[in-house]
Amino acid sequence: MHDHDSFRRRFLRQSGSALGLGALGAALPGLPALAAGPHPITAESARPQLPYGLQFGDVSQRGATVWARSDRPARMLVEIGDDEGFRRALRLRGPLATAASDYTARLDVPMLPGPAQRKVRVAFEDARSGVRSAWSEGRLRAAPCAFGHGRGRPVRLVWGGDVAGQGWGINPEIGGMRIFEAMRQRDPDFFLHSGDTIYADGPIAAEAKAENGRIWRNLVAEGVHKVAETLDEYRGRYRYNLLDDNLRRFAAQVPQLWQWDDHEVVNNWSPSKDLSADPRYTVKDIDVLVRRARQAFLEYSPQRRHGGDARNQRIERTIHYGPLLDVFMLDMRSYRGPNTDNLQIAAGPDTAFLGRRQLRELAEGLRRSRATWKIVAADMPLGLHVPDGTDAQGRPRWEAVANGDNGLPRGRELEFAELLHAIRDVDNVVWLTADVHYCAAHYYDPGRAAFQDFSPFWEFVAGPLNAGSFGPNALDGSFGPQVVFQKAPPSPNASPLAGYQFFGEVNIDPDSRSLSVDLRDLEGTSVFRKTLAAS
């Protein structure tokens, strides 16, 4: 008997319903069902509201996470349908959304036998009155081979980073953050958000001057006029982004894998960040800001919870997306040492970037992976110069891995030399990143490198999604990268009106097992394409 047949029979026995996906008792372990019943008709103002729609996250062969936000204490309700009318829906009761989580809630849902694509809708039930909100609807596509779903179908993902940065927010006059609609039109299986999901350190004014004398007019909201310092101000930046129609429509259709970078807290933050001379901040303690920012990020990211206190939730994780693909999500912020001149010759606290545990688990995970392709999702590029001013002695200080020295690895490069050596026999590893606000394709060639004990690999850079455009950045020679393609604006901080907004797209063919990468512009047009054969 096939797995999906046995699941369906067990599912029907548990439900006691001849319709299969009817109103359920406790249909699945750990997933309490919602008792069906009428809801009273009441005034709209008395109903909970879902102004930010719903999001899906961390979709894999196991299932996915459904996220939504109420405007008051309320119980999350989720229905998974197999038809337009949800007449035979799986009905689930989620958690209670309270002020402690800014009224956000999430529920892990299973992949069901039957169609690969399901209708999903979310509502909230008022914790006091029991009055239910209107439904917010989306659609969820199963990962390949979950109950036989999508066996042999292509895999498509899009990626990018840097949203609402440098004061370029939601501009209704140009249709809002249009690049999310361009990505939605590509109908991807999921979206890899490579960091800078918000710009907590970038105030958004009603107007900004753009190129050629044009005026950029932002939608503004409470609290975005200043840098985020309080927990609610950090939360408000996520709520601001979700005011965009394109983003909400995209999130209701495309599952997202989020990671964070610096602007979720403050530009170029590390344990050494000094805000004492920054008049914008009344809170000068970087650790306090990081705690608040991390809480807001975890509340608004549609990330699967792995038990325990959300404050201790890891951002790094692995997504197993069927036999063709594993995605290794990195956290290049939580474990790093201070930003320094990055030239230490021996490993120590100041050279930490991924940290020992994450570094070890990443190497082990890549070696154990049985997927054809292994994507390393890095929120910062490996070989590009990313400066962070100068230190007290006037020496260059570095924000990313590279240190401007083309010799053997030093500083943070030591971790990556260790990693690349450990995975030199692992086939089909590709790095995807953002952060630098332009698009590029880099080939890392040991034959051109100072450190040569690794196998060649590709790194692809995409972004920004709705922020100022910059670049290009110089390359560091330690790992032998070369620029195969890059596209950047002629002057820094070009507005989205200038057109230098980019997202990346990956397609994996199930027959040839080849992986193709496109770098696409604001209209979805490919400006670069590279196809890699599977080893």
| % the chain with pLDDT above 70 | 89
Q: What is residue 21's predicted lDDT score, i.e. its pLDDT? A: 36
Residue with more model confidence, 455 or 306: 455
Query: Max alpha carbon distance in the chain (Å)?
Result: 76
Residue with more model confidence, 34 or 141: 141
CA distance 522 to 178: 7
CA distance 67 to 54: 6
Residue 296 has pLDDT above 90, yes or no: yes
Q: What is residue 148's predicted lDDT score, i.e. its pLDDT? A: 60
Parallel, antiparallel, or unpaired: how do β-strands 457-461 and 429-433 relate?
parallel
Give the pair of three-digit tokens for residue 509: 């063919």
> Residue 24: pLDDT band by 50, 70, 90 thresholds?
very low
DSSP assigned state of 133: P
Residue 5 has pLDDT above 80, yes or no: no
CA distance 163 to 165: 6
pLDDT digits (tens, 9 = 90+) for 195-219: 999 999 999 999 999 999 999 999 9
Q: How many CB atoms lie within 10 A of CB 427?
A: 12
Contacts of 238 (CB under 8 A, 6+ apart): 197, 198, 296, 297, 299, 300
Which of 18-32, 331-345, 491-505 bottoms out in mean pLDDT, i.e. has the lowest? 18-32
pLDDT digits (tens, 9 = 90+) for 348-404: 999 999 999 999 999 999 999 999 999 999 999 999 999 999 988 999 999 999 999
> Residue 112: pLDDT band by 50, 70, 90 thresholds?
confident
Does the domain spanning 155-532 belong to CATH 3.60.21.70? yes
Q: What is residue 11's predicted lDDT score, i.e. its pLDDT? A: 34
SS3 105: strand
Residue with more model confidence, 148 or 37: 148
Residue 412 has pLDDT above 50, yes or no: yes
> Residue 149: pLDDT band by 50, 70, 90 thresholds?
low
User: In which residue are the tokens 């599912």 written?
Assistant: 11
> Residue 19: pLDDT band by 50, 70, 90 thresholds?
very low
Assess contact for 255 and 118: CB atoms under 8 A: no
Residue 28 has pLDDT above 80, yes or no: no
pLDDT digits (tens, 9 = 90+) for 116-128: 788 999 999 999 9
User: In which residue are the tokens 């001057």 written?
Assistant: 209
Topology (CATH) of 3-148: Immunoglobulin-like (2.60.40)
- DSSP lists the bridge partners of residue 138 as 120
pTM over 0.95: no
> Residue 29: pLDDT band by 50, 70, 90 thresholds?
very low
Residue 66 has pLDDT above 90, yes or no: yes
Mean pLDDT of 144-153: 67
Residue 33 has pLDDT above 70, yes or no: no
E strands present in 223-380: 256-258, 317-320, 325-329, 373-377
Residue 39 has pLDDT above 80, yes or no: no
User: In which residue are the tokens 């995807």 written?
Assistant: 432
Q: Domain spans of the chain?
A: 3-148, 155-532
Residue 15 has pLDDT above 50, yes or no: no
pLDDT digits (tens, 9 = 90+) for 463-497: 999 999 999 999 999 999 999 999 999 999 999 99
Residue 9 has pLDDT above 50, yes or no: no
Q: Is 155-532 in the same CATH topology as 3-148?
A: no
CA distance 44 to 423: 57
Report the mean per-residue pLDDT for the chain: 90
Q: What is residue 60's predicted lDDT score, i.e. its pLDDT? A: 87
One-letter amino acid at 317 equals: R
Q: How many CB atoms lie within 10 A of CB 345?
A: 11
pLDDT digits (tens, 9 = 90+) for 75-110: 999 999 986 678 888 999 999 999 999 999 999 998
Parallel, antiparallel, or unpaired: how do β-strands 190-193 and 256-258 relate?
parallel
Q: What is residue 32's predicted lDDT score, i.e. its pLDDT? A: 41
Residue 26 has pLDDT above 60, yes or no: no
pLDDT digits (tens, 9 = 90+) for 424-461: 999 999 999 999 999 999 999 999 999 999 999 999 99
Long-range contacts of 113-116 (CB under 8 A, 24+ apart): 113/4, 113/5, 113/7, 113/8, 113/11, 113/147, 114/4, 114/8, 114/82, 114/147, 115/82, 116/141, 116/142, 116/149, 116/150, 116/153
- DSSP lists the bridge partners of residue 499 as none
Residue 330 has pLDDT above 70, yes or no: yes
Mean pLDDT of 305-333: 87
